[in-house]
Amino acid sequence: MRAVAFGTAGHIDHGKTSLVKALTGVDCDRLPEEKRRGITLVLGFAPLADPKGEVELSFIDVPGHERLVHTMIAGAAGIDRALLVVAADEGVMPQTREHLSVLEVLGVRGGVVALTKSDLVEEELIEVRRRRSAGAPLGSLLWTGVASLAILAAGYVPLAIHELQTGFTETRAILDYLGGGGRSTDTGLLTRVGLVGWRSVTWPLVGLVTDRPLVSAVATVIVAVLGTVAVLVGRAADRAAVRWLLAVLAWSVVALAIFAPSLATVTPGLPNDHYHAFLDPIVLAVAGVGLARLAAGIGRMPVAGGRVQVSDGRLPVVASRALAVGLTVVLVVIGVTAWPPLVAADGGWRLVDEAAARVARAVGGETVLLDGIPSFKSDAALRFPLLRDGVRLLPEVPAAAGAAEPGTGDPAASPAAPGRAVLVCDPLFEQAVGAACGGPAEDAWLAGDATRSGLLLVDRFEAGPRRVISVYAPAAP
Ligand SMILES: Nc1nc2c(ncn2[C@@H]2O[C@H](COP(=O)(O)OP(=O)(O)OP(=O)(O)O)[C@@H](O)[C@H]2O)c(=O)[nH]1
Ligand SMILES: [Mg+2]
């Protein structure tokens, strides 16, 4: 009877001992320490009886741990053939190569390569087969679609809470906008699709494209690369989900370009429409899947045409992981630098609230004329906190009547003469009267109307950058 000794070889945990056990029924990991750690530490021996009695097969099981290569060499010294074990989910790893070199040096010329753990990549294979068989793809695609929609729906929870709490303000604004036919634009549909698409992709990462066009372009390229990786590489279920998401994104961009033409126009310095903001979770989800695929190492992705392929080098894995980390860092830096400041540049609510409290103290319980560039920005910003503090204000002068000229809140024309007057002076006001805030502009305002001649300054302070508030009271009779 011929005797043939097979020696296992292969990277740690690739399933050498499990395979020998499956073939012979013998568990070569006998030591308690081997059981506890789940790895082979010493050589194992397992005979396999040939039913025909022609060949006497035996297996020598070796450890795969890199520090135990000397044990592997000792085991391989007496073998006739190699049983090279490669796990399908990991592919060729350092000890796979090392053990092969040892076998070569020892002159072992023949053997068997066993691909183990194929069940771990079966999901992809099943998916590929499903796609090839008629009928089945619909069900799998539907499930993927339902799962994708559920994930997306989670992204809209904050918006839903906002809408429920505010009586659906955003929804109503959109309906009003659509009801009014949208604001027309001269830009052609194709250009609009491009611009709306660009705005939609970069908005969650960079903010408004016109604020930082170059950074927006970088972010767009990164998202495009990640989207491509997400569509082309990786698990079939992921790829189906990403295609769904991209279809929703593309359809929404076209719909927005048609029904919300104003999105193609950005007016710097003025508030802009962001009807595309509901697409943010989709953009982030697609980029996230792309990053995940890169981080998993596209170099060892096993699926190609339904056959398992094993990458033979570590470099692609390392390189794609490095790329994933690099792109994540760039996106995080772009995103973080695009965050708006916690407090607006003009001091925000906190400052205007403090100013209102100070004005309220200065005017006492008197009725107040609040003036500035009428119905525009600065005085409007102070109007709300003053009303909130219980200060009685004379009615606002309609914008159309007073837009051309400052100081049109004429006390004489008002239903009741003001006990006090408050003037908000800002750059726009300076421009209108042609004098500087903090004295000259306010004096011009006083001199501009005879009814103000009796007013005396009782308080003046700076309420934020380039905003001076003056409080006047009538001179004592
Ligand atoms: N899912 C799956 N797990 C497997 C397969 N083969 C082995 N395993 C598991 O992989 C782990 C490692 O298996 P081992 O047989 O101990 O691997 P080894 O190559 O002998 O490991 P070392 O001797 O330490 O180098 C165990 O938890 C096994 O249950 C397989 O085909 N599929
Ligand atoms: Mg083992």
- Checking if the pLDDT of 422 tops 60, the result is yes
**Mean pLDDT of the 274-281 span:** 87
Sign of torsion, CA 182 184 188 192?
negative
Model confidence over 363-417: pLDDT tens digits?
A: 887 788 887 765 455 566 788 888 888 888 887 654 433 433 444 444 344 444 5
Q: According to the model, what pLDDT value does residue 407 have?
A: 44
Q: According to the model, what pLDDT value does residue 300 have?
A: 45
* Span from the CA of 38 to the centroid of ligand 2 (angstroms): 8
16 pocket-lining for ligand 1 (C-beta < 6 Å): yes
All CATH 3.40.50.300 domain ranges of the chain, comma separated, are 2-121
Q: Where residue 154 falls among pLDDT bands split at 50, 70, 90?
A: confident
Instruction: Select the more confidently predicted residue: 251 or 313.
Output: 251
Give the integer Cα–Cα distance in Å for 292 and 60: 39
Atom 32 of ligand 1 has which residue's CA nearest to it? 117
pTM: 0.48
Instruction: Select the more confidently predicted residue: 344 or 315.
Output: 344
Which candidate, 242, 201, 238, places its Cα nearest to that of 222? 201
- Checking if the pLDDT of 323 tops 50, the result is yes
- Checking if the pLDDT of 141 tops 70, the result is no
- Nearest ligand 1 atom to the CA of 12 is 25
Give the integer Cα–Cα distance in Å for 361 and 474: 16
- Checking if the pLDDT of 298 tops 70, the result is no
Q: According to the model, what pLDDT value does residue 411 have?
A: 39
Give the integer Cα–Cα distance in Å for 330 and 202: 14
116 pocket-lining for ligand 1 (C-beta < 6 Å): yes
Give the integer Cα–Cα distance in Å for 323 and 228: 14
- Checking if the pLDDT of 60 tops 80, the result is yes
Give the integer Cα–Cα distance in Å for 18 and 36: 15
Atom 5 of ligand 1 has which residue's CA nearest to it? 117
- Nearest ligand 1 atom to the CA of 116 is 31
Ligand nearest to the CA of 18: 1
**Mean pLDDT of the 339-364 span:** 84
- Checking if the pLDDT of 308 tops 50, the result is no
- Checking if the pLDDT of 232 tops 80, the result is yes
- Nearest ligand 1 atom to the CA of 11 is 25
* Span from the CA of 117 to the centroid of ligand 2 (angstroms): 14
Share of the chain above pLDDT 90, in %: 35
CATH number for the region 2-121 comes to 3.40.50.300
Model confidence over 165-207: pLDDT tens digits?
A: 888 888 887 787 777 766 666 778 889 899 999 999 999 999 8
